[in-house]
Amino acid sequence: MGSDNNTDWFKVRGFDQATYQDGLRLYRTGYYQWLPETYGLESVDVFKGPTSILYGEAPSGGMINAVSKRPTDEPRGEFEIQAGNRDHRQLGIDTSGPVTESGDVRYRFVGLYKERDGDLDGTDNERYYFAPSLEWDLSDDTQLTLLSSFQKDDGVPVNSFKLPYGTVDDTPFGKVDPQTNYGAPDYDKDERTQATLGYEFKHQLDDTWQFEQNTRYSHLDLNLRSTYVLGGTGDGQTASRGHLQRDGEIDSFTIDNRMVGKWYTDRTENTLLFGVDYQDLSLDGKEFDSFGYDVVDIFNPQGDIAPVPNDQLTERQINKDQLGLYFQNQLRIDDRWVLLGGVRYDSADVRNESERENTTVDETQTATSLSGGVMYLGDNGLNPYLSYSESFQPEAQTDLTGAVFEEIKGEQWELGVKYAPFNWDGYVTAALFDIEESNSFATTPAGYQTQEGERTSTGLELEGVGYITDSLKLTAAYTYTDARDANDDRAALIPKHMASAWLDYDFEGTAVDGLKVGAGIRHVGESSGGPTIEVPSYTVGDAMASYDINDSWTAQINVNNVTDEEYVASCESDFWCYYGESRSVVGSLKYNW
């Protein structure tokens, strides 16, 4: 969907996804978007398709779980400095190791400062990030990990919305420049502060059972002013603009308690997991929305706007409590068969109060979700599988009449195979999937959300990673997705075909020992932008090079969109289109100890 500096846009298998961190939900409602800092992450796991069985509420596309950096047994650290185009500047530090001589207490501290201009004229963002953590072995059977973070963003939001007129459609005045900003840089702002404090507790009760508890409190404070283009006025030169404001905060508390049992016989290995989790979300803020605030010149926007008086903002309060009970069992038989089955029950109480609409909605949404699967483990590394899963996503947002949206439910069948030959350092996977979602969201021509009924997505995914030689590594993927809306039309934003390939080469043992280079391409096929718009396909290239100067120092450069291709990434509802991100060049120097 193009570049954005205050929202993460991910689509998985044609649907939205949920973002979790360390297995607990990060609350995102409306414009109150929680943004994980990637420098503070150890890894990112992607779960494709409905995943409510263990993690609770989630859209039909699945979930992305960000795993925080943790304390390490051995002392280590790094200091990194970056610089790049669009005035990119970044300083990062990451240090960890034992606190005590015995090593039973360990720490980690991650800190970051970065700033960069956005991909639109007059936009930027500045960020401070700190994440201290502590891990304590209370005994041989008990461990406690404390995790915390603080992040502050201050900038001018990137609103990449543009009209089809001047992007995919020709005009007498030519095309709109990709860096054109229809916002009001001197008035718009995005001030965001987010903080977390939580822990992970594990206790081994005996040889069979282990108790685990994850808990986190999160706070998000947002002050947002955002101006965006809405629709042409009909004169071929001007368009109406919308303007919104959000000034409020979200407090959330999440706790997940589970028991994990493992036992064995001569032919079987059984893992039983059951638990209860609770989530509490409260939003208290003020808001302003105008879908026709003023008019802007499409080809020469003025960049200013009349300020909104404070008394025009109205109160909004949202409260959501959700309780979930879950059970899952995995049985491994003769090291040949793996059987998985699970069930989950969720009950969510949702209350939404709007001063502007003069409404209060209070209701309970419930669901029972099922999952199951079977996999065969072959001697030759060929492992076919079949799975079924469901998802449940309660909604706290309201429509234009003030009514709370219905809960969204999804179900998926997946048939696939994983091939990891024992004599080859690599693997290949293939998966066929079929997803159905009820009460799907769609964007109307007026720019607001509505629920349109059932939406489907069927497709094929191919992925592979492997070494062609000892020095040359290939990573490749292809996806075919046929996503359909309630009218059986192609869903907007979702291309049928996507493919990518990346090659890494390590010059270890040569005259330039320490040098690594990589290059790849990303191809996105044509997509639908609504009943009357077809978005052309595009292909961009990326490259990197790194050099280990010695055991401590490493220099690296990364370039995305090497040839600075100008392309429209996607459109939706015959209404908005988004240019893809321009060329990005970032160089870094890192010191490790």
With beta carbons less than 8 A apart as the criterion, state whether 23 and 65 touch.
yes
Mean local confidence (pLDDT), 207-234? 96
Whether residue 445 is predicted with pLDDT greater than 60 in this model: the reply is no
Whether residue 357 is predicted with pLDDT greater than 90 in this model: the reply is no
The pLDDT > 90 percentage for the chain reads 78
Mean local confidence (pLDDT), 390-419? 81
- Helical H segments across 28-115, by residue range: 52-55
Whether residue 219 is predicted with pLDDT greater than 80 in this model: the reply is yes
- The DSSP 8-state label assigned to residue 285 in this structure reads E
- How far out from the chain centre does Cα 48 lie? 12
CA end-to-end span of the chain: 39
Closest CA to 120 of 580, 589, 587, 592: 580
Give the model's pLDDT for residue 487. Answer: 86
Classify 212 as helix, strand or coil. Answer: strand
Mean local confidence (pLDDT), 420-437? 92
Global pTM reads 0.92
Mean local confidence (pLDDT), 294-315? 93
The one-letter amino acid code at 391 reads: S
Mean local confidence (pLDDT), 46-71? 83
Strands 62-68 and 18-21: parallel
- 132-149 confidence digits (pLDDT tens): 999 999 999 999 999 999
- 240-268 confidence digits (pLDDT tens): 999 999 999 999 999 999 999 999 999 99
Mean local confidence (pLDDT), 268-296? 95
Give the model's pLDDT for residue 394. Answer: 77
Rounded Cα distance, 514 and 36, in Å: 32
Whether residue 447 is predicted with pLDDT greater than 60 in this model: the reply is no
Whether residue 239 is predicted with pLDDT greater than 70 in this model: the reply is yes
Give the model's pLDDT for residue 446. Answer: 56
Give the model's pLDDT for residue 393. Answer: 81
The one-letter amino acid code at 473 reads: K
Whether residue 46 is predicted with pLDDT greater than 60 in this model: the reply is yes
CA distances from 194 to 27, 33, 128, 476, 561 (A): 11, 10, 11, 36, 31
With beta carbons less than 8 A apart as the criterion, state whether 462 and 477 touch.
yes
Give the model's pLDDT for residue 409. Answer: 87
Give the model's pLDDT for residue 449. Answer: 66
Rounded Cα distance, 365 and 348, in Å: 5
